[in-house]
Amino acid sequence: MVKAIVAGAAGRMGTRIIHNILDTPGIELVAAFERPDSPAVGKDVGEVIGLPNLGIPIEDSLEKVIDKGDVIIDFTFHEASLANARINAKYGKAMVIGTTGFSKEELEEIHELARQHFPLVQAYNMSLGINLLYKLVELATQVLGEDFDIEIVEAHHRMKKDAPSGTAIALANVIARTLGWDESTFRFCREGIIGERPKKEIGIQTIRAGEIVGEHTVYFAGTGERIELTHRAASRDTFARGAVKAALWVVGKSPGVYDMHDVLGLK
Ligand SMILES: NC(=O)C1=CN([C@@H]2O[C@H](COP(=O)(O)OP(=O)(O)OC[C@H]3O[C@@H](n4cnc5c(N)ncnc54)[C@H](OP(=O)(O)O)[C@@H]3O)[C@@H](O)[C@H]2O)C=CC1
Ligand SMILES: O=C(O)C1=N[C@H](C(=O)O)C[C@H](O)C1
């Protein structure tokens, strides 16, 4: 039985991840924690996620609970996930990080810690559909190439803290890699007299509204025709199921950085 520790247990994703752990054979929740000043600290996990008491109090740090678990599942905030990876480097537990909004330096440090000390599944989107979309976008980019203008539009709920979404950045990276371009071709917003669209540009636009769970569309617009590839997540359980699959998969792996294509066998 894989023993899981959930970071950010009272958050939107933490809550759904715990529900999914409780519903999945082969994995059990052994501990959960929140940031030290969270009102959830000290309460029973069940009370916080809308279930009867589970006999597991929400703690205020990873260090207090890390000995109990085999894997830490972390969907929190960029600084918190980095701090948790630093702590885990001393313990070598498996980790699943779904957090977005990292700077390049933060993400590189997490990856380096993992390469040296623990197996990590890190992915900006843990849904099956988005991981298939990466492949479809790669194929469309190979076929349509530089003759088509490529634009990404992402839409999320009003509470989301980072923009653009990690998934939109990952999609842009797939396109850029396929075309042999780099990040200097990413165009994050347009305003004013912007002139004609350069050919060598990947537009990335953000919508924040209401309770949208997560939507990504990639436009391939050419002369006389257009293809739109869209993924819409209907519920956070879509991501939470992926996170639990990743947790079951990563325990026992060698230190290193893995992604959902490894977990889902899409490599
Ligand atoms: N990879 C994927 O498939 C997906 C990734 N995400 C990403 O996951 C992250 C979380 O999203 P979401 O659940 O909506 O956000 P929430 O803000 O609802 O949840 C994050 C939780 O982490 C808590 N937290 C913050 N700092 C710490 C800390 N130091 N230790 C422990 N807990 C901490 C927050 O507490 P407090 O509220 O008090 O700050 C909050 O309860 C985001 O980066 C989001 O983009 C989301 C969905 C899918
Ligand atoms: O914050 C969210 O909600 C989501 N964030 C991820 C991202 O930034 O790509 C994935 C998902 O779309 C939901």
Write the CATH number for 159: 3.30.360.10
Q: For residue 158, how far is its CA from the centre of ligand 2 (angstroms)?
A: 12
How high is the pLDDT of residue 14? 98
Q: From the CA of 170, give the closest atom in ligand 2.
A: 9
Residue 16: C-alpha distances to residues 8, 41, 118, 226 (Å)? 11, 18, 25, 37
Q: Which helix (H) or strand (E) holds 217?
A: strand 215-221
| 99 pocket-lining for ligand 2 (C-beta < 6 Å) | no
Q: Which of 107, 130, 160 to mutate to test the pocket of ligand 2 (most atoms within 8 A of CB)?
A: 160
Strand partners, 6: 32, 73
Q: Which residue's entry shows tokens 């994995």? A: 27
pLDDT at 37 over 90: yes
* Same domain membership, residue 243 and residue 216: no
Using alpha carbons, select from 70, 240, 118, 103 the residue that is nearest to residue 169. Answer: 103
In ligand 1, the atom with minimum distance to the C-alpha of 99 is 43
Report whether 16 contacts 236 (CB < 8 A). Answer: yes
Residues 217 and 246 both lie in one domain: no
132/193 same-domain check: yes
* HEC sequence for 89-156: CCCCCEEEECCCCCCHHHHHHHHHHHHHHCEEEECCCCCHHHHHHHHHHHHHHHHHHHHCEEEEEEEE
Please indicate, yes or no, whether residues 31 and 102 belong to a single structural domain of this protein. Answer: yes
Please tell me the distance from the alpha carbon of residue 258 to that of residue 62, in angstroms, as a whole number.
Answer: 22
Please count the structural domains in the chain: 2
58 and 100 together in one domain: yes
pLDDT band at 146 (very low <50, low <70, confident <90, very high): confident
Same domain, 245 and 229: no
Instruction: Please indicate, yes or no, whether residues 216 and 257 belong to a single structural domain of this protein.
Output: no
Pull the structure tokens for residue 161.
């803290």
* Residue list, annotated binding site: 8-13, 34-35, 98-100, 123-126, 157, 166-167
Q: Please tell me whether the overall predicted TM-score, pTM, comes out greater than 0.90 for this model.
A: yes
Same domain, residue pair 138 and 193: yes
Chain-centroid distance, C-alpha 160: 13
Closest Cα to residue 185, out of 195, 176, 177, 193?
Answer: 176
Confidence of residue 255 (pLDDT cuts 50, 70, 90): very high
- Tell me, yes or no, whether 241 and 118 share the same domain: yes
Same domain for 197 and 86, yes or no, is: no
Q: Domain range for residue 171?
A: 128-233
pLDDT band with cut points at 50, 70 and 90 for residue 246: very high
The encoded tokens of residue 189 equal 């917003």
Q: Which residues are within 8 A (CB) of 161 and not within 5 positions of it... i.e. 6 or more apart?
A: 77, 101
Q: What is the mean pLDDT of residues 119-124?
A: 98
Predicted pLDDT of residue 145: 84
Q: Are 111 and 258 in contact (CB under 8 A)?
A: no
Model confidence at 101, pLDDT cuts 50, 70, 90, reads very high
Confidence band for 155, pLDDT divided at 50, 70 and 90: very high
**Ligand 2 lined by 165 (C-beta under 6 Å):** yes
pLDDT(245) > 90: yes
Tokens describing residue 203: 């537009």
Both structure tokens of 208 = 């924040």
